[in-house]
Structure 1
Amino acid sequence: MPKFTTNKVTISYEVHGKGKPIVLLHGGAVDFNYNYVQTGWIETLTENGFQVIGINFRGYHESDKSNDPKFYGTENFSNDVINLIKHLKFSKVFLLGYSMGTLIAFDLLYRYPGYFSKAILIATGNGLIGIPPYILENLLPGFAKIFSYESYPSHLPKHLSAYWNFINEVGLDKESMIALSLGKYPSLTVENASKIEIPTLIISGELDLVLGKGEKVAKTLPNGEYLEIKGANHFALATEKKVHESTIKFLIAE
Protein backbone atom coordinates (compact mmCIF):
# COMPACT_ATOMS: atom_id res chain seq x y z
CA MET A 1 0.00 0.00 0.00
CA PRO A 2 1.49 3.39 -1.00
CA LYS A 3 2.22 6.07 1.58
CA PHE A 4 3.40 9.64 1.67
CA THR A 5 4.85 11.77 4.45
CA THR A 6 4.22 15.47 5.09
CA ASN A 7 5.16 17.39 8.22
CA LYS A 8 6.42 14.14 9.76
CA VAL A 9 3.02 12.45 9.43
CA THR A 10 2.75 9.39 7.18
CA ILE A 11 -0.56 8.65 5.49
CA SER A 12 -1.51 5.47 3.61
CA TYR A 13 -3.73 5.50 0.56
CA GLU A 14 -4.90 3.40 -2.39
CA VAL A 15 -5.41 4.11 -6.08
CA HIS A 16 -7.77 2.06 -8.25
CA GLY A 17 -8.49 2.30 -11.96
CA LYS A 18 -7.97 5.05 -14.48
CA GLY A 19 -9.99 8.08 -15.47
CA LYS A 20 -11.25 11.18 -13.73
CA PRO A 21 -9.85 11.25 -10.17
CA ILE A 22 -12.23 11.05 -7.23
CA VAL A 23 -11.04 11.13 -3.61
CA LEU A 24 -13.02 9.02 -1.12
CA LEU A 25 -13.17 9.97 2.58
CA HIS A 26 -14.24 7.16 4.89
CA GLY A 27 -16.38 7.34 8.01
CA GLY A 28 -15.47 7.04 11.67
CA ALA A 29 -14.44 3.70 13.20
CA VAL A 30 -13.96 2.17 9.73
CA ASP A 31 -11.17 2.44 7.18
CA PHE A 32 -11.21 2.91 3.40
CA ASN A 33 -11.40 -0.84 2.78
CA TYR A 34 -14.33 -1.44 5.11
CA ASN A 35 -16.28 1.63 3.99
CA TYR A 36 -15.71 1.49 0.23
CA VAL A 37 -13.90 -1.61 -1.03
CA GLN A 38 -16.15 -4.14 0.71
CA THR A 39 -19.29 -2.24 -0.27
CA GLY A 40 -18.66 -2.22 -4.02
CA TRP A 41 -17.71 1.41 -4.54
CA ILE A 42 -14.47 0.61 -6.39
CA GLU A 43 -16.38 -1.26 -9.09
CA THR A 44 -19.15 1.34 -9.24
CA LEU A 45 -16.70 4.17 -9.85
CA THR A 46 -13.98 2.54 -11.94
CA GLU A 47 -16.50 0.93 -14.31
CA ASN A 48 -17.91 4.39 -14.97
CA GLY A 49 -14.64 6.07 -15.88
CA PHE A 50 -13.28 7.24 -12.53
CA GLN A 51 -9.94 6.71 -10.85
CA VAL A 52 -10.50 6.08 -7.14
CA ILE A 53 -8.11 7.56 -4.58
CA GLY A 54 -8.85 6.26 -1.10
CA ILE A 55 -7.15 7.85 1.88
CA ASN A 56 -6.86 6.17 5.27
CA PHE A 57 -7.14 9.03 7.74
CA ARG A 58 -4.51 9.41 10.43
CA GLY A 59 -5.32 6.89 13.16
CA TYR A 60 -6.48 4.29 10.62
CA HIS A 61 -4.93 1.28 8.90
CA GLU A 62 -1.24 1.96 8.14
CA SER A 63 -1.43 5.73 8.62
CA ASP A 64 0.31 7.25 11.64
CA LYS A 65 -1.45 7.10 14.98
CA SER A 66 -1.32 8.98 18.27
CA ASN A 67 -3.03 8.97 21.64
CA ASP A 68 -3.09 12.80 21.63
CA PRO A 69 -6.45 14.33 20.57
CA LYS A 70 -4.59 17.31 19.08
CA PHE A 71 -3.13 14.94 16.47
CA TYR A 72 -6.63 14.61 14.97
CA GLY A 73 -9.46 17.06 14.27
CA THR A 74 -10.97 18.52 11.10
CA GLU A 75 -8.08 20.79 10.18
CA ASN A 76 -5.47 18.03 10.36
CA PHE A 77 -7.62 15.57 8.38
CA SER A 78 -8.37 18.18 5.72
CA ASN A 79 -4.73 19.14 5.37
CA ASP A 80 -3.83 15.47 4.87
CA VAL A 81 -6.32 15.25 2.00
CA ILE A 82 -4.94 18.34 0.30
CA ASN A 83 -1.40 17.07 0.76
CA LEU A 84 -2.39 13.76 -0.86
CA ILE A 85 -3.93 15.58 -3.84
CA LYS A 86 -0.70 17.58 -4.21
CA HIS A 87 1.41 14.43 -3.76
CA LEU A 88 -0.45 12.78 -6.65
CA LYS A 89 -0.15 15.99 -8.70
CA PHE A 90 -3.86 16.42 -9.35
CA SER A 91 -5.10 19.93 -10.05
CA LYS A 92 -8.78 19.14 -9.53
CA VAL A 93 -10.71 16.10 -8.28
CA PHE A 94 -14.19 14.92 -7.44
CA LEU A 95 -14.87 14.32 -3.75
CA LEU A 96 -16.97 11.72 -1.93
CA GLY A 97 -17.39 11.54 1.83
CA TYR A 98 -19.30 9.18 4.11
CA SER A 99 -20.45 9.98 7.67
CA MET A 100 -17.48 11.54 9.49
CA GLY A 101 -15.86 11.90 6.07
CA THR A 102 -18.63 14.34 5.11
CA LEU A 103 -17.54 16.73 7.85
CA ILE A 104 -14.00 16.71 6.46
CA ALA A 105 -15.35 17.07 2.91
CA PHE A 106 -17.48 20.04 3.92
CA ASP A 107 -14.47 21.76 5.44
CA LEU A 108 -12.46 21.08 2.29
CA LEU A 109 -15.16 22.51 0.05
CA TYR A 110 -15.17 25.69 2.11
CA ARG A 111 -11.42 26.17 2.64
CA TYR A 112 -10.02 24.72 -0.60
CA PRO A 113 -12.74 25.12 -3.26
CA GLY A 114 -10.28 25.34 -6.14
CA TYR A 115 -9.37 21.67 -5.82
CA PHE A 116 -12.85 20.22 -6.31
CA SER A 117 -15.24 19.81 -9.26
CA LYS A 118 -18.22 18.18 -7.54
CA ALA A 119 -18.91 16.53 -4.19
CA ILE A 120 -21.18 13.82 -2.82
CA LEU A 121 -21.81 13.68 0.94
CA ILE A 122 -23.43 10.43 2.07
CA ALA A 123 -24.91 9.51 5.46
CA THR A 124 -24.79 13.04 6.75
CA GLY A 125 -27.13 15.59 8.22
CA ASN A 126 -27.94 19.14 9.19
CA GLY A 127 -25.40 19.01 11.98
CA LEU A 128 -22.86 20.00 9.31
CA ILE A 129 -24.20 23.54 9.71
CA GLY A 130 -24.70 23.31 13.47
CA ILE A 131 -28.37 22.33 13.57
CA PRO A 132 -29.08 19.96 16.48
CA PRO A 133 -29.47 17.24 17.56
CA TYR A 134 -26.90 15.45 15.36
CA ILE A 135 -23.90 17.76 15.63
CA LEU A 136 -20.81 15.61 15.23
CA GLU A 137 -18.61 17.79 17.43
CA ASN A 138 -21.04 17.20 20.30
CA LEU A 139 -21.56 13.51 19.56
CA LEU A 140 -17.95 12.33 19.20
CA PRO A 141 -16.96 12.49 22.90
CA GLY A 142 -19.71 9.93 23.49
CA PHE A 143 -18.03 7.62 20.99
CA ALA A 144 -14.83 7.84 23.03
CA LYS A 145 -16.82 6.32 25.89
CA ILE A 146 -18.20 3.59 23.62
CA PHE A 147 -14.69 2.67 22.49
CA SER A 148 -13.56 2.49 26.13
CA TYR A 149 -15.80 -0.45 27.04
CA GLU A 150 -13.91 -3.71 27.51
CA SER A 151 -16.77 -5.77 26.14
CA TYR A 152 -19.66 -5.19 23.76
CA PRO A 153 -21.94 -2.49 25.27
CA SER A 154 -25.23 -4.34 24.81
CA HIS A 155 -27.03 -1.79 27.00
CA LEU A 156 -26.63 0.90 24.32
CA PRO A 157 -28.88 1.41 21.27
CA LYS A 158 -27.71 -0.77 18.36
CA HIS A 159 -26.83 2.20 16.15
CA LEU A 160 -24.29 3.23 18.81
CA SER A 161 -23.00 -0.12 20.04
CA ALA A 162 -22.30 -0.97 16.38
CA TYR A 163 -19.27 1.31 16.56
CA TRP A 164 -17.71 -0.85 19.25
CA ASN A 165 -18.03 -3.77 16.84
CA PHE A 166 -16.57 -1.76 13.97
CA ILE A 167 -13.26 -0.94 15.62
CA ASN A 168 -12.84 -4.59 16.59
CA GLU A 169 -13.86 -5.97 13.19
CA VAL A 170 -11.60 -3.54 11.33
CA GLY A 171 -8.76 -4.04 13.80
CA LEU A 172 -8.36 -0.40 14.79
CA ASP A 173 -6.27 0.77 17.71
CA LYS A 174 -8.66 1.52 20.58
CA GLU A 175 -6.57 4.24 22.22
CA SER A 176 -6.13 6.03 18.90
CA MET A 177 -9.88 5.93 18.29
CA ILE A 178 -10.57 7.35 21.73
CA ALA A 179 -8.10 10.19 21.12
CA LEU A 180 -9.56 10.82 17.66
CA SER A 181 -13.04 11.13 19.14
CA LEU A 182 -11.81 13.84 21.49
CA GLY A 183 -10.38 16.01 18.71
CA LYS A 184 -11.88 19.29 17.48
CA TYR A 185 -14.54 19.07 14.75
CA PRO A 186 -16.37 22.40 14.53
CA SER A 187 -19.41 22.75 12.30
CA LEU A 188 -19.47 25.32 9.52
CA THR A 189 -21.77 28.26 10.06
CA VAL A 190 -24.74 28.69 7.76
CA GLU A 191 -23.10 31.86 6.44
CA ASN A 192 -19.89 30.05 5.50
CA ALA A 193 -21.72 27.05 4.05
CA SER A 194 -23.72 29.37 1.81
CA LYS A 195 -20.44 30.41 0.17
CA ILE A 196 -19.71 26.87 -1.10
CA GLU A 197 -20.59 27.05 -4.79
CA ILE A 198 -19.28 23.60 -5.79
CA PRO A 199 -22.14 21.36 -6.99
CA THR A 200 -22.85 19.04 -4.05
CA LEU A 201 -25.22 16.11 -3.63
CA ILE A 202 -26.35 15.35 -0.08
CA ILE A 203 -27.63 11.80 0.43
CA SER A 204 -29.34 10.89 3.71
CA GLY A 205 -31.21 7.89 5.00
CA GLU A 206 -34.81 8.24 6.13
CA LEU A 207 -34.00 6.25 9.29
CA ASP A 208 -30.52 7.62 10.07
CA LEU A 209 -30.23 7.80 13.87
CA VAL A 210 -26.51 8.67 13.82
CA LEU A 211 -26.34 11.94 11.84
CA GLY A 212 -29.95 12.45 10.81
CA LYS A 213 -30.98 14.11 7.53
CA GLY A 214 -29.30 16.85 5.51
CA GLU A 215 -32.07 18.57 3.57
CA LYS A 216 -31.32 21.95 5.22
CA VAL A 217 -27.66 21.65 4.31
CA ALA A 218 -28.58 21.08 0.67
CA LYS A 219 -30.87 24.11 0.70
CA THR A 220 -28.11 26.25 2.20
CA LEU A 221 -25.69 25.42 -0.61
CA PRO A 222 -26.08 27.55 -3.78
CA ASN A 223 -25.68 24.40 -5.92
CA GLY A 224 -26.86 21.76 -3.48
CA GLU A 225 -29.09 18.80 -4.25
CA TYR A 226 -30.76 16.46 -1.77
CA LEU A 227 -31.67 12.79 -1.99
CA GLU A 228 -33.31 10.85 0.81
CA ILE A 229 -33.33 7.06 0.67
CA LYS A 230 -36.57 5.66 2.04
CA GLY A 231 -36.18 2.98 4.71
CA ALA A 232 -32.37 3.30 4.87
CA ASN A 233 -30.40 3.75 8.06
CA HIS A 234 -26.93 5.28 8.49
CA PHE A 235 -25.05 2.11 7.63
CA ALA A 236 -27.23 0.72 4.82
CA LEU A 237 -26.49 3.70 2.58
CA ALA A 238 -23.05 2.29 1.78
CA THR A 239 -24.54 -0.60 -0.18
CA GLU A 240 -27.85 0.87 -1.37
CA LYS A 241 -28.06 0.47 -5.16
CA LYS A 242 -29.87 3.78 -5.52
CA VAL A 243 -27.04 5.60 -3.72
CA HIS A 244 -24.46 4.14 -6.10
CA GLU A 245 -26.58 4.90 -9.17
CA SER A 246 -27.43 8.43 -8.06
CA THR A 247 -23.78 9.17 -7.33
CA ILE A 248 -22.72 8.21 -10.86
CA LYS A 249 -25.62 10.11 -12.42
CA PHE A 250 -24.65 13.24 -10.48
CA LEU A 251 -20.94 12.94 -11.28
CA ILE A 252 -21.34 12.50 -15.02
CA ALA A 253 -24.07 15.11 -15.52
CA GLU A 254 -22.93 18.20 -17.39
Structure 2
Amino acid sequence: MHKFNSAGVEIAYEEAGEGFPILLIHGFASTGRVNWWDTGWVKTLTEAARRVITFDHRGHGESEKLYDPALYAAAEMAEDARRLLDHLGVAQADVMGYSMGARVAAFFTLAHPGRVRRAVFAGLASRMITGVGGAEAIARALEAPSREEVADPGAKAFRIFAEQTKSDREALAACIRSSRDRITADALAAIRVPVLVVAGEKDDVAGDVDTLVNAIPGARGVTLPGRNHMNAVGDRTYKQAVLDFLT
Protein backbone atom coordinates (compact mmCIF):
# COMPACT_ATOMS: atom_id res chain seq x y z
CA MET A 1 0.00 0.00 0.00
CA HIS A 2 0.97 3.63 -0.50
CA LYS A 3 0.63 6.31 2.17
CA PHE A 4 0.25 10.07 2.17
CA ASN A 5 -0.06 12.84 4.73
CA SER A 6 -3.62 14.11 5.12
CA ALA A 7 -3.22 17.29 7.19
CA GLY A 8 -1.02 15.46 9.67
CA VAL A 9 -2.73 12.03 9.54
CA GLU A 10 -1.09 9.18 7.63
CA ILE A 11 -3.60 7.60 5.26
CA ALA A 12 -2.98 4.34 3.37
CA TYR A 13 -4.37 3.82 -0.12
CA GLU A 14 -4.23 1.54 -3.16
CA GLU A 15 -4.98 1.87 -6.87
CA ALA A 16 -5.80 -0.50 -9.70
CA GLY A 17 -6.82 -0.23 -13.34
CA GLU A 18 -7.01 2.59 -15.85
CA GLY A 19 -9.83 4.85 -16.99
CA PHE A 20 -12.10 7.39 -15.37
CA PRO A 21 -11.42 7.21 -11.61
CA ILE A 22 -13.80 5.95 -8.97
CA LEU A 23 -13.06 6.47 -5.28
CA LEU A 24 -14.37 3.71 -2.99
CA ILE A 25 -14.98 4.58 0.68
CA HIS A 26 -15.29 1.65 3.09
CA GLY A 27 -17.51 1.16 6.12
CA PHE A 28 -16.89 1.22 9.87
CA ALA A 29 -14.46 -1.39 11.24
CA SER A 30 -13.66 -2.53 7.71
CA THR A 31 -10.76 -1.66 5.39
CA GLY A 32 -10.36 -0.86 1.73
CA ARG A 33 -9.18 -4.43 1.18
CA VAL A 34 -12.01 -6.13 3.07
CA ASN A 35 -14.79 -3.91 1.76
CA TRP A 36 -13.78 -3.58 -1.88
CA TRP A 37 -11.02 -5.97 -2.93
CA ASP A 38 -12.15 -9.13 -1.13
CA THR A 39 -15.75 -8.70 -2.33
CA GLY A 40 -14.73 -8.52 -5.99
CA TRP A 41 -15.58 -4.85 -6.46
CA VAL A 42 -12.11 -3.81 -7.62
CA LYS A 43 -12.04 -6.65 -10.15
CA THR A 44 -15.53 -5.76 -11.39
CA LEU A 45 -14.67 -2.08 -11.85
CA THR A 46 -11.24 -2.54 -13.40
CA GLU A 47 -12.77 -4.96 -15.90
CA ALA A 48 -15.21 -2.17 -16.71
CA ALA A 49 -12.23 0.04 -17.64
CA ARG A 50 -12.15 2.12 -14.48
CA ARG A 51 -9.28 3.44 -12.39
CA VAL A 52 -10.15 2.29 -8.86
CA ILE A 53 -8.87 4.09 -5.77
CA THR A 54 -9.40 2.63 -2.29
CA PHE A 55 -8.10 3.82 1.08
CA ASP A 56 -8.26 3.00 4.76
CA HIS A 57 -10.05 5.55 6.93
CA ARG A 58 -8.12 7.14 9.76
CA GLY A 59 -8.18 4.66 12.65
CA HIS A 60 -8.66 1.72 10.28
CA GLY A 61 -6.48 -0.79 8.46
CA GLU A 62 -3.02 0.50 7.61
CA SER A 63 -3.85 4.16 8.27
CA GLU A 64 -2.81 6.03 11.38
CA LYS A 65 -4.67 5.19 14.61
CA LEU A 66 -6.16 8.11 16.55
CA TYR A 67 -7.79 7.87 19.97
CA ASP A 68 -9.59 11.20 20.33
CA PRO A 69 -13.25 11.03 19.17
CA ALA A 70 -13.04 14.68 18.10
CA LEU A 71 -10.72 13.62 15.27
CA TYR A 72 -13.34 11.38 13.64
CA ALA A 73 -16.03 13.80 12.51
CA ALA A 74 -17.53 12.56 9.25
CA ALA A 75 -16.84 15.90 7.57
CA GLU A 76 -13.13 15.62 8.44
CA MET A 77 -13.02 12.03 7.18
CA ALA A 78 -14.49 13.36 3.94
CA GLU A 79 -11.57 15.78 3.77
CA ASP A 80 -9.20 12.78 3.90
CA ALA A 81 -10.92 11.61 0.71
CA ARG A 82 -10.59 15.03 -0.89
CA ARG A 83 -6.92 15.30 0.08
CA LEU A 84 -6.29 11.85 -1.41
CA LEU A 85 -7.69 12.98 -4.76
CA ASP A 86 -5.53 16.12 -4.48
CA HIS A 87 -2.49 13.96 -3.75
CA LEU A 88 -3.18 11.82 -6.82
CA GLY A 89 -3.93 14.80 -9.05
CA VAL A 90 -7.51 13.67 -9.66
CA ALA A 91 -9.75 16.63 -10.45
CA GLN A 92 -13.03 14.69 -10.58
CA ALA A 93 -14.13 11.13 -9.83
CA ASP A 94 -17.14 8.96 -9.25
CA VAL A 95 -17.51 8.23 -5.54
CA MET A 96 -19.05 5.19 -3.83
CA GLY A 97 -19.31 4.63 -0.09
CA TYR A 98 -20.71 1.76 1.95
CA SER A 99 -22.34 2.23 5.40
CA MET A 100 -20.19 4.79 7.26
CA GLY A 101 -18.45 5.27 3.94
CA ALA A 102 -21.76 6.35 2.39
CA ARG A 103 -22.09 9.04 5.06
CA VAL A 104 -18.54 10.19 4.36
CA ALA A 105 -19.27 10.14 0.62
CA ALA A 106 -22.34 12.31 1.18
CA PHE A 107 -20.34 14.85 3.21
CA PHE A 108 -17.71 14.84 0.46
CA THR A 109 -20.32 15.39 -2.25
CA LEU A 110 -21.92 18.26 -0.35
CA ALA A 111 -18.60 19.96 0.42
CA HIS A 112 -16.98 19.46 -3.00
CA PRO A 113 -19.69 18.97 -5.63
CA GLY A 114 -17.33 19.84 -8.47
CA ARG A 115 -15.09 16.92 -7.56
CA VAL A 116 -17.88 14.33 -7.89
CA ARG A 117 -19.33 13.21 -11.23
CA ARG A 118 -21.68 10.56 -9.82
CA ALA A 119 -22.19 9.24 -6.29
CA VAL A 120 -23.35 5.90 -4.88
CA PHE A 121 -24.57 5.76 -1.28
CA ALA A 122 -24.84 2.11 -0.28
CA GLY A 123 -25.51 0.36 3.04
CA LEU A 124 -26.95 3.58 4.49
CA ALA A 125 -30.30 4.98 3.39
CA SER A 126 -32.96 6.68 5.55
CA ARG A 127 -30.73 6.42 8.62
CA MET A 128 -28.34 8.86 7.00
CA ILE A 129 -31.07 11.36 7.92
CA THR A 130 -32.61 9.89 11.08
CA GLY A 131 -29.43 8.51 12.63
CA VAL A 132 -28.37 4.94 13.31
CA GLY A 133 -28.09 4.92 17.10
CA GLY A 134 -26.25 2.50 19.34
CA ALA A 135 -22.85 4.17 19.01
CA GLU A 136 -22.04 4.04 22.72
CA ALA A 137 -23.09 0.40 22.97
CA ILE A 138 -20.79 -0.46 20.07
CA ALA A 139 -17.94 1.53 21.59
CA ARG A 140 -18.32 -0.30 24.92
CA ALA A 141 -18.45 -3.63 23.10
CA LEU A 142 -15.20 -2.79 21.33
CA GLU A 143 -13.59 -1.83 24.63
CA ALA A 144 -14.79 -4.89 26.57
CA PRO A 145 -12.05 -7.30 27.71
CA SER A 146 -13.70 -10.12 25.75
CA ARG A 147 -16.61 -10.60 23.36
CA GLU A 148 -18.30 -12.95 25.86
CA GLU A 149 -18.95 -9.93 28.08
CA VAL A 150 -20.99 -8.18 25.37
CA ALA A 151 -24.73 -8.77 25.77
CA ASP A 152 -26.09 -6.49 23.03
CA PRO A 153 -26.28 -8.68 19.86
CA GLY A 154 -25.90 -5.77 17.45
CA ALA A 155 -22.88 -4.37 19.27
CA LYS A 156 -21.41 -7.84 19.57
CA ALA A 157 -21.59 -8.28 15.79
CA PHE A 158 -19.40 -5.21 15.35
CA ARG A 159 -16.99 -6.52 18.01
CA ILE A 160 -16.69 -9.83 16.15
CA PHE A 161 -16.19 -8.05 12.82
CA ALA A 162 -13.48 -5.83 14.34
CA GLU A 163 -11.68 -8.92 15.60
CA GLN A 164 -11.95 -10.57 12.18
CA THR A 165 -10.38 -7.53 10.51
CA LYS A 166 -7.68 -7.42 13.23
CA SER A 167 -8.59 -3.81 13.93
CA ASP A 168 -7.38 -1.49 16.67
CA ARG A 169 -10.54 -1.64 18.79
CA GLU A 170 -9.64 1.40 20.88
CA ALA A 171 -9.32 3.54 17.75
CA LEU A 172 -12.62 2.18 16.43
CA ALA A 173 -14.36 3.02 19.72
CA ALA A 174 -13.18 6.61 19.35
CA CYS A 175 -14.39 6.66 15.74
CA ILE A 176 -17.89 5.32 16.42
CA ARG A 177 -18.41 7.90 19.17
CA SER A 178 -17.98 10.72 16.66
CA SER A 179 -18.52 9.65 13.04
CA ARG A 180 -22.30 9.15 12.91
CA ASP A 181 -23.23 12.75 12.16
CA ARG A 182 -26.69 13.04 10.65
CA ILE A 183 -27.37 14.92 7.44
CA THR A 184 -30.70 16.72 7.23
CA ALA A 185 -33.07 16.21 4.32
CA ASP A 186 -32.78 19.94 3.60
CA ALA A 187 -29.01 19.64 3.28
CA LEU A 188 -29.28 16.59 1.03
CA ALA A 189 -31.68 18.50 -1.22
CA ALA A 190 -28.72 20.64 -2.29
CA ILE A 191 -27.03 17.69 -4.03
CA ARG A 192 -27.12 18.14 -7.79
CA VAL A 193 -24.95 15.29 -9.04
CA PRO A 194 -26.59 11.98 -10.03
CA VAL A 195 -26.97 9.69 -7.00
CA LEU A 196 -27.74 5.99 -6.64
CA VAL A 197 -28.92 4.66 -3.25
CA VAL A 198 -28.54 0.92 -2.54
CA ALA A 199 -29.40 -1.10 0.55
CA GLY A 200 -30.49 -4.59 1.48
CA GLU A 201 -34.16 -5.34 2.07
CA LYS A 202 -33.33 -6.63 5.57
CA ASP A 203 -30.74 -3.99 6.43
CA ASP A 204 -31.88 -2.44 9.72
CA VAL A 205 -28.69 -0.38 9.92
CA ALA A 206 -29.32 1.32 6.58
CA GLY A 207 -33.05 1.93 6.86
CA ASP A 208 -35.33 2.25 3.85
CA VAL A 209 -34.08 3.35 0.45
CA ASP A 210 -37.06 5.47 -0.62
CA THR A 211 -36.70 8.05 2.16
CA LEU A 212 -33.16 8.94 1.10
CA VAL A 213 -34.01 8.82 -2.61
CA ASN A 214 -36.88 11.25 -2.05
CA ALA A 215 -34.56 13.66 -0.22
CA ILE A 216 -32.06 13.94 -3.10
CA PRO A 217 -33.24 15.50 -6.37
CA GLY A 218 -33.20 12.98 -9.21
CA ALA A 219 -31.74 10.15 -7.13
CA ARG A 220 -32.40 6.52 -8.01
CA GLY A 221 -32.80 3.65 -5.58
CA VAL A 222 -32.24 -0.11 -5.51
CA THR A 223 -33.37 -2.44 -2.72
CA LEU A 224 -31.57 -5.80 -2.66
CA PRO A 225 -34.02 -8.67 -1.96
CA GLY A 226 -33.18 -10.75 1.11
CA ARG A 227 -29.91 -8.94 1.84
CA ASN A 228 -28.83 -7.49 5.19
CA HIS A 229 -26.09 -5.06 6.19
CA MET A 230 -23.30 -7.60 6.18
CA ASN A 231 -24.04 -9.61 3.04
CA ALA A 232 -25.27 -6.87 0.69
CA VAL A 233 -21.84 -5.44 -0.10
CA GLY A 234 -20.80 -8.17 -2.55
CA ASP A 235 -24.25 -8.71 -4.05
CA ARG A 236 -24.37 -9.22 -7.84
CA THR A 237 -27.50 -7.10 -8.25
CA TYR A 238 -25.77 -4.26 -6.39
CA LYS A 239 -22.75 -4.50 -8.68
CA GLN A 240 -24.82 -4.56 -11.85
CA ALA A 241 -26.91 -1.60 -10.67
CA VAL A 242 -23.75 0.42 -10.09
CA LEU A 243 -22.27 -0.50 -13.47
CA ASP A 244 -25.50 0.53 -15.19
CA PHE A 245 -25.62 3.77 -13.19
CA LEU A 246 -22.03 4.72 -13.93
CA THR A 247 -22.48 4.22 -17.66
> By the TM > 0.5 criterion, same fold?
yes
Report the CA distance shift for 1:6/1:124 in structure 2 as closer, same or farther (over 3 A). closer
State whether residues 122 and 237 of structure 1, in contact with CA within 8 Å, keep that contact through their aligned partners in structure 2.
no
SS at match of 2:146: coil
RMSD: 1.4
SS at match of 1:87: helix
Query: Deviations for 1:82-126, whole angstroms, at most 9, x for unmatched residues?
Result: 000111111100001000101101111111111000011111121
| 2:35 counterpart letter in structure 1 | N
Q: Please give the residue correspondences for 1:131-146 in structure 2 after superposition, counting only pairs within 5 Å.
A: 131=130, 135-136=131-132, 138-146=133-141
What TM-score comes out, normalization by structure 2 length? 0.95
Return 5+ residue gaps in structure 2 as ranges.
Answer: none
**Which residue of structure 1 aligns with residue 4 of structure 2?**
4
SS at match of 1:124: coil
Deviation at 1:73, TM superposition (A): 1.4
State whether residues 124 and 204 of structure 1, in contact with CA within 8 Å, keep that contact through their aligned partners in structure 2.
yes
Out of 211, 222, 226, which is 1:227 matched to?
A: 222
Deviation at 1:190, TM superposition (A): 1.2
Return 5+ residue gaps in structure 1 as ranges.
Answer: none
**Which residue of structure 1 aligns with residue 13 of structure 2?**
13
The alignment status of 1:151 with 2:138, answered yes or no, reads no
SS at match of 1:168: helix
**Which residue of structure 2 aligns with residue 203 of structure 1?**
198
**Which residue of structure 1 aligns with residue 83 of structure 2?**
83
CA distance in 2, matches of 1:40, 1:29: 19
**Which residue of structure 1 aligns with residue 163 of structure 2?**
168
CA distance in 2, matches of 1:184, 1:48: 32
Query: Deviations for 1:133-155, whole angstroms, at most 9, x for unmatched residues?
Result: xx13x332221022122222464
State whether residues 100 and 180 of structure 2, in contact with CA within 8 Å, keep that contact through their aligned partners in structure 1.
no
Deviation at 1:184, TM superposition (A): 4.7
**Which residue of structure 1 aligns with residue 208 of structure 2?**
213
Report the CA distance shift for 1:45/1:72 in structure 2 as closer, same or farther (over 3 A). same
What TM-score comes out, normalization by structure 1 length? 0.93
| 1:128 counterpart letter in structure 2 | M
**Which residue of structure 2 aligns with residue 42 of structure 1?**
42
Indicate the larger mover: 57-66 or 184-193.
184-193
Q: Please give the residue correspondences for 1:51-90 in structure 2 after superposition, counting only pairs within 5 Å.
A: 51-90=51-90
Structure 1 stretches of at least 4 aligned residues deviating more than 4 Å after TM superposition: none
Percent of matched pairs sharing the same residue:
28
State whether residues 21 and 94 of structure 1, in contact with CA within 8 Å, keep that contact through their aligned partners in structure 2.
yes
| 1:239 counterpart letter in structure 2 | G
SS at match of 1:237: coil
Query: Deviations for 1:172-212, whole angstroms, at most 9, x for unmatched residues?
Result: 11111111111253211111111101101000111012222
**Which residue of structure 2 aligns with residue 186 of structure 1?**
181
